[in-house]
Chains A and B, each alone.
Chain A
Amino acid sequence: MFSVSPEIYKVITQTSRYLFAFFALMLLLFALSWLYDERRKRRERLRYLPEAGNIGEMVVIAGSEQLPVDTWFPIPREGILGSLRSCDLVVPCPGVHARHLAFSWQDGTGLIIKPFPGCETFVDGVSLITAEKSEMPVMVHGSCLQVGSAVLRLQLLSALEHTNRPFTVTAPEPFLPFTDPPAQEYRPDQPNPMNQPLIGNPADGLSQQESQSAFDSVVVSVIPEEHLPVQQTAPRRKRADRWKEDFSE
């Protein structure tokens, strides 16, 4: 195979020793910049996904002075609920132990609650202390958790996949085949219906205002109330409002 004379080889080795040290330095810098770049991208990504890592939220139905009603907190996939500030969910209510229960999320099943010994816990009214292991209730969307004097309702982000409430979908009415209206014989003595006013005509003895009110009453009586556009209220918390890009792609 190809080789060089000892003199040339000496020059190459002397040059390469410095070159390799330079390359090693560059590699270290590239690795650190790669690490920094990845961190920056991740931070940016998480900024647009404020709910990342959470499975939903708990809303306080009944609480205490320190935990007023309608307070909510995000729920991580796993954690400890208790009255200590070091817990993942801090519930400062009478009857809640320092470390009351452990919870963990299981995909397809729901939120599994494991109370610590001696900590009374209810899920949808069923006590977890006395419940059989096979019949241990799992929290799903809308389930209520009672610890001490606090009652918390679970609201999941993936609500439709994890609910025990009947969710019936009414089938849409079948489309009727479109048929042309029967052709009417044209009679020149009849006025053209397209040229007639819809409701009211000053010539019929009704003023413009009266005809308008008559029109409104007809419309209101024809359209059911539930189909009327309701005034949208501002959501309690707008989720992912800063979301800009689908990073799953």
Chain B
Amino acid sequence: MSKKSSPRFRFVFAAALLVLLALLVPALREGDQRLYLLAAGVTGAMLLCMIIPARLFSLDRLILSIALYLGAVGIISLATSNPDAALMQLLRCSAGVVALIIGAMVIRIISPSMLTAGISSFLGLLLLAGSLLVRDLPFPFTEAALILMVISFSSLLSCYGGAAALLPGIIGTVLLLLQGMTVEASVLALTVLLLLWAADGKIGLVLAALAVFAAIFFGAAYFGYLPAFIPGEEHALSLSTLVSSGLFGSETVTDLQNSALPASSLVYLLSENYGLVFTGLTLFLYLPLILRGTSVAGSARTRFHAVLALGCVLIFSLRIPAGLLAAFGVLPLPLNPLPLLTDSLPDLAAQMLTLGLLCGISSVNETNLAEDAHLAMLAK
């Protein structure tokens, strides 16, 4: 009698097979050694990461597997046209995995306290103010700053209540608006408001916070810090690029994407090489990732972990509709790369760190549940 395979095994096997085939097919064209190396390296690294670090650091397998697969999809999108860039992306993804493990370990160290809130607020605001002062900064640290702001908010909320937690969020939003980062500012403001509503539950405070954020955005519009929301050439180009290869991709290999589109976004290359169906189905994998994140937040025992997990999910997921709506030209927002489908190392590392925090909270939840089972056994 054959034993039915588990969904985890099926997912890992299918993901590894898809990545292997997707890297082997372009390698067959010219027999490029780098692509063969990538095929073996990426598949092996994926399988190893899904087994060894997941077991060593008690990482959440579902979050880890989807994160690794989306990272591999980024490599695949580059491998067809530029194997050197794909090798570089592999190194970036490796750094991202290290960031994920660090995130999972950090969650076991930090606790809600004034020290945690102070350090994370200071670092987050420093990164935002630094990028405001130095405009030509080669590495954008906005994503990392947002995560630090969420850690600070969670710590303050669980220690001192909602009113105290609002202050860093408001300052962070103002700093982001001063740089013209409307999407990031909106994501931070929405995250703070939703967390305040979910965790504190005081409707008066939520309404007051809503009024403050509305005043900040109206002030930014009044003083000319908000960009004009007019559909530009890049929005039309973005839509045409996404649908140019049809449903199942074109026969010709696209080498470089248009310079009007954001260089760090890999979704255009993916769509041009593999078609709209493959890209759409890949992007749908964000859904189980977000659902798993909310499940982790709902299972957390402490308020700090629950708020932090929900904050990580919101910071991660609110960028997806904003990016997709802008890419399809529905909303005239700035074109930003989607999470994990970017070749910007700071962004990728920060997003992996976010998922690492979720993995760490999931691990803490499992430990707590095991303790409960032990107590139940003793009580019996």
Residues of A within 8 A of B (CB): 1-4, 9-10, 12-14, 16-21, 23-28, 30-39, 42, 45, 48-49, 51-53, 76-78, 86, 104, 157-158, 239-241, 243, 246-248
Given A17-B249, A21-B277 in contact, is the A27-B18 Cβ separation under 8 Å? yes
23 A–B contacts from the bound complex (CB under 8 Å): A1-B27, A1-B31, A4-B28, A12-B28, A17-B249, A17-B274, A18-B248, A20-B21, A31-B288, A32-B287, A33-B7, A45-B373, A48-B376, A49-B372, A52-B372, A76-B301, A77-B301, A86-B201, A239-B379, A246-B377, A247-B369, A247-B373, A248-B373
B17 touching A23, Cβ below 8 Å = yes
Could you say which interface size class chain B belongs to?
A: 35 or more
Which one of A14, A24, A48, A86 contacts B277 once the chains associate, using CB atoms below 8 Å? A24
Report chain A residues within 8 Å CB of B274.
17, 20-21
Residue with the highest number of chain A CB atoms closer than 10 Å, among B10, B62, B277, B372: B372
A42 touching B299, Cβ below 8 Å = yes
Task: Determine the main DSSP class of A at the interface with B.
Answer: helix
Q: Is B319 an interface residue (CB 8 A)?
A: no
Question: Considering the chains assembled together, what is the distance between the CA atoms of A38 and B30 in angstroms?
Answer: 43
A27 touching B369, Cβ below 8 Å = no
Report chain B residues within 8 Å CB of A12.
25, 28
What is the chain A residue whose CB lies nearest that of B370? A248
What is the chain B residue whose CB lies nearest that of A160? B378
Within 8 A of A (CB), among B1-43: 6-8, 10-11, 14-15, 17-18, 21-22, 25, 27-33, 36
Which one of A21, A23, A33, A49 contacts B376 once the chains associate, using CB atoms below 8 Å? A49
Query: 9 nearest interchain CB pairs?
Result: A3-B31, A34-B7, A24-B281, A240-B376, A1-B31, A30-B11, A248-B370, A247-B373, A23-B18
Which one of B36, B248, B373 contacts A21 once the chains associate, using CB atoms below 8 Å? B248
For residue B147, give the distance in angstroms from its CB to the closest CB of chain A.
Answer: 23
What is the chain A residue whose CB lies nearest that of B15? A27
Q: Is B302 an interface residue (CB 8 A)?
A: yes
- Total inter-chain residue pairs, C-beta < 8 Å: 149
Q: Is B136 an interface residue (CB 8 A)?
A: no
B14 touching A23, Cβ below 8 Å = yes
Report chain A residues within 8 Å CB of B18.
20, 23-24, 27
Question: Considering the chains assembled together, what is the distance between the CA atoms of A124 and B380 in angstroms?
Answer: 30
For residue A178, give the distance in angstroms from its CB to the closest CB of chain B.
Answer: 35
Given A1-B36, A27-B14, A52-B369 in contact, is the A16-B285 Cβ separation under 8 Å? no
Given A247-B373, A248-B371, A248-B377 in contact, is the A9-B29 Cβ separation under 8 Å? yes
For residue A114, give the distance in angstroms from its CB to the closest CB of chain B.
Answer: 10
Within 8 A of A (CB), among B291-337: 291-292, 295, 299, 301-303
Report chain B residues within 8 Å CB of A14.
251
For residue B92, give the distance in angstroms from its CB to the closest CB of chain A.
Answer: 22
Given A21-B277, A31-B66 in contact, is the A37-B29 Cβ separation under 8 Å? no
Report chain A residues within 8 Å CB of B66.
31
Given A20-B22, A27-B11, A157-B379 in contact, is the A3-B301 Cβ separation under 8 Å? no
B291 touching A37, Cβ below 8 Å = no
Task: Determine the main DSSP class of B at the interface with A.
Answer: helix
For residue B203, give the distance in angstroms from its CB to the closest CB of chain A.
Answer: 10
Given A1-B33, A52-B369 in contact, is the A13-B25 Cβ separation under 8 Å? yes
Given A20-B278, A34-B7 in contact, is the A77-B31 Cβ separation under 8 Å? no
Question: Considering the chains assembled together, what is the distance between the CA atoms of A35 and B29 in angstroms?
Answer: 38
Q: Is B240 an interface residue (CB 8 A)?
A: no
Which one of B28, B69, B372 contacts A27 once the chains associate, using CB atoms below 8 Å? B69
What is the chain B residue whose CB lies nearest that of A45? B369
Report chain A residues within 8 Å CB of B11.
27, 30-31, 34
Report chain A residues within 8 Å CB of B377.
240, 243, 246, 248
Report chain A residues within 8 Å CB of B65.
31
Question: Considering the chains assembled together, what is the distance between the CA atoms of A241 and B380 in angstroms?
Answer: 7
Report chain A residues within 8 Å CB of B299.
42
Question: Considering the chains assembled together, what is the distance between the CA atoms of A66 and B159 in angstroms?
Answer: 31
Q: Is B223 an interface residue (CB 8 A)?
A: no
For residue B13, give the distance in angstroms from its CB to the closest CB of chain A.
Answer: 9
Question: Considering the chains assembled together, what is the distance between the CA atoms of A25 and B291 in angstroms?
Answer: 18
Q: Is B284 an interface residue (CB 8 A)?
A: yes
For residue B144, give the distance in angstroms from its CB to the closest CB of chain A.
Answer: 27
B380 touching A21, Cβ below 8 Å = no
Within 8 A of A (CB), among B234-287: 248-249, 251, 274-275, 277-278, 281-282, 284-285, 287
What is the chain A residue whose CB lies nearest that of B376? A240
A30 touching B14, Cβ below 8 Å = yes
Report chain B residues within 8 Å CB of A1.
27, 31-33, 36
What is the chain A residue whose CB lies nearest that of B10? A30
A158 touching B375, Cβ below 8 Å = yes
For residue B357, give the distance in angstroms from its CB to the closest CB of chain A.
Answer: 19
What is the chain A residue whose CB lies nearest that of B18? A23
For residue B304, give the distance in angstroms from its CB to the closest CB of chain A.
Answer: 9
Report chain B residues within 8 Å CB of A158.
375
Report chain A residues within 8 Å CB of B282.
24
Residue with the highest number of chain B CB atoms closer than 10 Å, among A4, A24, A86, A241: A24
Q: Is B108 an interface residue (CB 8 A)?
A: no
Question: Considering the chains assembled together, what is the distance between the CA atoms of A3 and B287 in angstroms?
Answer: 38
B22 touching A2, Cβ below 8 Å = no
